[in-house]
Amino acid sequence: MTRAILCAGEALVDLISLSPGMGLGDSTLFESRLGGAPMNVAIGARRLGASVSFLGKIGCDPFGDRLWSAMEREGLDLSPSVREGGTSTTLAFVALDRDGKPQFRFYRDNAADVSLKEEEVASVDPRRWSCLSFGSISLLEEPSSSTYLGLFGRFREAGVITAYDPNVRPLAIDRPEHFRSIAMEVISKADIVKISDDDLRWLCPSKEPEESLMDLPISQGSVAFLTLGARGAMARKGETVTSVPAHPVEVKDTTGCGDAFMAAILVKLGQMDREELHRLHQDYLTKTAAFGCAAASVVAGRIGAAFAMGTLEEVIARGGTGL
């Protein structure tokens, strides 16, 4: 039986500006939508046909109730997740700039997502899943940072595929060098790394992302994907890099595009054995990147992040191959 993918990290509420192109400071009307990169990835992978579990700490407030119900409706297994009385849900204000790129601002008050403790995940058995996918703002604060890094170590020791997306949010990072250090250490150990051009510019500001991709300290057999927005994506294994174009789309919102890409590559790579992943040829990785671009294009043409994620049929219709 195929094991499920485990997506770990935050689930939160995005408050989306209804004034596209105005940015955060000039927006006056916002609409609440459910989000958080790990939850977006989980829903994206589930809609593409994978069995998916979600591990996170969900706030005990009306927003948390809404998140929990929505994930259940999407068919996610929530048995690894935690709720604790008195905790709240992180609110993320999001506005699009003139290029359709999102600007973020996070507000937390006793937030559940960053308060996950190691003892709350002690019973998680890595052998139950085929892959652990994590990253994003869950690594910004304690105790959640240590908890997720500890979980990452346990999955690696068990020989389970690990996938990482740093998903950098500069305005939420109080200690940039500390975060860079953590991100680079995880990148050096993860089996699958997905990173955007904006994230790579922040992590390695002295070079262009295409150059920095070759400098990432990925381990032997591991793979890295660089997303380039309208310019497509690149796939790297060892010293070999290939590029794929983006799929033409009338962009309405880029929020969640990177998460859709991550979901797509998890569906293609995260359900195999670790040794099989490490033996893959570059041609398969190139096709996987193209599948990710097709998934991202579906989301770009909609508004809604998690609930803009496409089905397998929609992604294939955009040119993504089922491989």
Q: pLDDT tens-digit profile of 44-73? A: 999 999 999 999 999 999 999 999 999 999
Sign of CA dihedral 26, 37, 151, 227: negative
Amino acid at 286: T
Helix locations, 204-256, DSSP H: 209-215
Average pLDDT taken over every residue of the chain: 93
Spatial CA neighbour of 72 closest among 88, 58, 90, 91:
58
Tell me how far apart the alpha carbons of residues 68 and 199 are, in angstroms, rounded to a whole number. Answer: 29
pTM of the model: 0.94
60: how many CB neighbours lie within 10 A of its CB? 17
Residues 152-205 have pLDDT tens digits of 999 999 999 999 999 998 878 989 999 999 999 999 999 999 999 999 999 999
pLDDT at 214 over 90: yes
Angle (nearest 5°) at CA 199 between 197 and 200: 65
Q: Is 250 exposed, middle or buried (0-12, 13-18, 19+ CB in 10 A)?
A: exposed
Residues 136-146 have pLDDT tens digits of 788 999 999 99
Share above pLDDT 70 across residues of the chain, in percent, rounded to a whole number:
98
Tokens of 50: 């994978």
pLDDT at 210 over 60: yes
Residues 232-280 have pLDDT tens digits of 999 999 999 999 999 989 988 888 999 999 999 999 999 999 999 999 9
Comparing 318 with 114, the larger pLDDT belongs to 114
pLDDT at 322: 54
Tell me how far apart the alpha carbons of residues 69 and 89 are, in angstroms, rounded to a whole number. Answer: 14
Reduced to 3 DSSP states, what percent helix, strand and coil does the chain have, rounded to the nearest 5?
40, 25, 35
Domain ranges of the chain: 4-316
Yes or no: domain 4-316 corresponds to CATH 3.40.1190.20: yes
Comparing 323 with 109, the larger pLDDT belongs to 109
Spatial CA neighbour of 32 closest among 22, 42, 17, 21:
17
- Report yes or no: 236 and 218 within 8 Å, Cβ to Cβ: yes
pLDDT, mean of residues 2-24:
91
pLDDT range class, residue 323, cuts 50, 70, 90? low
